[in-house]
Amino acid sequence: MAEERVVFELSKEYLDLVVQAIEQQDEAFIKESMEGVNSADISELLEEVEAESAKYVLDVLHNEVGADILEDLEEDTRLDFLKEHEPIEIARYIEEMESDEAVDAINDLPVKTREEVIAAIKDPETASHVNELMRYDEDCAGGLMAKEMIVANINWTIKQTIEEIRRQVESVEKIYSVYVVDNNQKLMGKVSVKKIILSGDKVKVQNIYDEDIIHVETYMADEEVAEIMQKYDLDAVPVVNLQGKLVGRITIDDIVDVITEQAEEDMQLMSGISSDVEEDDSIWAISKARLPWLFIGMLGSTLGALTMGIFEGQLEKYVTLVFFIPMLMATGGNVGIQSSTLIVQSLASRTVFEESLIKRLLKMFSTALVTGLVLAIIAMAIVVIWKGMDQSEFGLVVATAIVAVTLLASFMGTVTPLILDKLNINPAIASGPFITTTNDILGIIVYLAIANLLLP
């Protein structure tokens, strides 16, 4: 009876079989079970094994598959894996990658190792591309772009262009556009593959290309590039240097990575984590990232307690006031976070500039007033039902404070991110503990001040 073929599956059982195959040096099992499997799935599986074991799997598979797997791995994991390889082994994978992915893969290696890898690359053009891209910071257009692209000279005929496309396409994984340049490599525009196919052999590119092309400069920040590609719904965008010469292209998959990283950073800032950490980081690294805002929260609570101390005599006389402090603090914090989150989203998409500041503040005030009045009615009902009609004066205090706190928290939540953005500080920090702590203190002050005015 023939042995049943094991099929790749992202499961604990299959992972155990892979680990066993690695220990037994069972190349046949690894090749057979991983044949035709998406590299992203294999990468996810290899995240769970030791670097030395992962190296064995990569050695067994084809270099092209191994390169795809390395591209999909998390940066820290990939660095650990590459440290198990000799420079000449890494170079074989680099030759199978597009230049931007190659630079990402080796950028964090020690300088000496990095130089040895580049020296071991057999294709001079690939080595040249990698060397050039290493000059750019990773958070600008130059650091995002790949050198591989399809380029046509404006003076070529269609026959020449097709021949050149056939030659160039070997190093390009996906064709989004054919970029048109002059004799000095200055970007002139683009031409679609469809137009090239439909045109006669003797027609020149200059007669069919489109001059209207959106491009970015090498020094442009990655977030700006992402905004442009989102705004104009681009799959790829050409990159030019200060002289207007075409030097590379950025594709949508690179921008998705930028957007994802920015979203993760904003999410961590909004939840009060001060640096980029992940669940599998060390205990100290995670604690260090959490402590700053937690410490600020403690200071805020201390200030709140000191504020309450100012009104200690009144609180002793009207103990009922204490019962509703959590309601006020929760309302202020939640309203502030809601308002700031909407502003942060608008800043990210730049739609915040479509309305004037006055118009936005008026809209904020109107929304907060309606919200506050509805919440005030609910709060008044809660006090009356709980404490009875004879305690309705407390209901009036709570209801009035709810309206005031909602207006104040909405104002803080709207204005604070805008101010931080003007100061070139990530406005996402306004949406977490910063707003919550500030509104807690202000909410207590407003509540007790109103109580001092309305109660005898």
Among the ranges given (61-65, 143-147, 289-293), the one the predictor scored with the smallest mean pLDDT: 289-293
Buried/exposed code over 224-251 (b: 16+ C-beta within 10 A; e: otherwise): ebbbbbeeeebebbbbbbeeeebbbbbb
- We report the CATH number of the domain holding residue 431 as 1.10.357.20
Report the run of H or E that residue 216 belongs to, with start and end: strand 216-217
Quickly state the pLDDT bin for 404 (edges 50, 70, 90): very high
Q: Does position 157 have pLDDT exceeding 80, yes or no?
A: yes
Q: Does position 274 have pLDDT exceeding 60, yes or no?
A: no
What confidence tens digit (pLDDT) does each residue in 32-41 have? 889 888 888 8
Quickly state the pLDDT bin for 132 (edges 50, 70, 90): very high
Higher pLDDT, 65 or 426: 65
Pair (61, 177) in one structural domain: no
Pair (169, 252) in one structural domain: yes
Q: Is residue 268 part of a domain?
A: no
Which residue, of 82, 104, 136, is where some domain finishes? Answer: 136
- We report the CATH number of the domain holding residue 52 as 1.25.60.10
What is the reported pLDDT for 280? 60
Among the ranges given (69-83, 235-249, 282-296, 315-329), the one the predictor scored with the smallest mean pLDDT: 282-296
Q: Is residue 145 part of a domain?
A: no
Contacts of 105 (CB under 8 A, 6+ apart): 70, 71, 78, 82, 90, 93, 94, 97
Which residue, of 72, 101, 136, is where some domain finishes? Answer: 136
Quickly state the pLDDT bin for 2 (edges 50, 70, 90): very low
Please give the Cα distance from 25 to 287 (Å, whole number).
Answer: 40
Pair (232, 210) in one structural domain: yes
Higher pLDDT, 416 or 209: 209
Pair (202, 351) in one structural domain: no
Q: What percent of the chain has pLDDT over 70?
A: 89
Among the ranges given (49-58, 144-153, 176-185, 277-286), the one the predictor scored with the smallest mean pLDDT: 277-286
Pair (95, 156) in one structural domain: no
What confidence tens digit (pLDDT) does each residue in 345-362 have? 777 666 555 567 677 778
pTM for this model (two decimals): 0.67
- For residues 293 and 432, is the Cβ–Cβ distance under 8 A? yes
Q: Tokens 């403690």: give the residue.
A: 298
Pair (304, 446) in one structural domain: yes
- We report the CATH number of the domain holding residue 202 as 3.10.580.10
Q: Is residue 276 part of a domain?
A: no
Pair (375, 449) in one structural domain: yes
What is the reported pLDDT for 455? 78
Pair (66, 202) in one structural domain: no
- For residues 268 and 261, is the Cβ–Cβ distance under 8 A? no
Higher pLDDT, 340 or 120: 120
Q: Does position 3 have pLDDT exceeding 60, yes or no?
A: no
What is the reported pLDDT for 445? 85
Degrees, nearest 5: CA angle 192-198-200: 115
Higher pLDDT, 270 or 148: 148
Among the ranges given (57-66, 267-276, 322-331), the one the predictor scored with the smallest mean pLDDT: 267-276
Higher pLDDT, 343 or 272: 343
Q: Is residue 178 part of a domain?
A: yes
Grouping H, G, I as helix, E, B as strand and the rest as coil, residue 274 is coil
Q: Is residue 77 part of a domain?
A: yes
Q: Does position 427 have pLDDT exceeding 70, yes or no?
A: yes
What is the reported pLDDT for 373? 93
Which residue, of 102, 136, 170, is where some domain finishes? Answer: 136
Q: Does position 4 have pLDDT exceeding 60, yes or no?
A: no
What is the reported pLDDT for 310? 77
Among the ranges given (28-32, 136-140, 345-349), the one the predictor scored with the smallest mean pLDDT: 345-349
Pair (359, 325) in one structural domain: yes
Quickly state the pLDDT bin for 120 (edges 50, 70, 90): very high
Q: Is residue 270 part of a domain?
A: no
Kindly report the average pLDDT of the chain as a whole number: 84
Pair (318, 389) in one structural domain: yes
Contacts of 416 (CB under 8 A, 6+ apart): 340, 427, 430, 434, 435, 438
Higher pLDDT, 430 or 300: 300
Length of the chain: 456
Pair (224, 293) in one structural domain: no
Q: Does position 128 have pLDDT exceeding 80, yes or no?
A: yes
Q: What percent of the chain has pLDDT over 90?
A: 31
Alpha helices, DSSP H, located in 283-391: 283-310, 312-317, 320-323, 325-349, 357-387
- Total structural domains within the chain: 3
Quickly state the pLDDT bin for 429 (edges 50, 70, 90): low
Q: Is residue 391 part of a domain?
A: yes
Q: Is residue 274 part of a domain?
A: no
Contacts of 178 (CB under 8 A, 6+ apart): 150, 151, 152, 161, 165, 190, 191, 192, 193, 196
Pair (177, 314) in one structural domain: no
Could you list the residue range(s) of the whole structural domain that residue 101 is in? Answer: 12-136
What confidence tens digit (pLDDT) does each residue in 162-200 have? 998 888 887 787 788 899 999 999 999 999 988 998 999
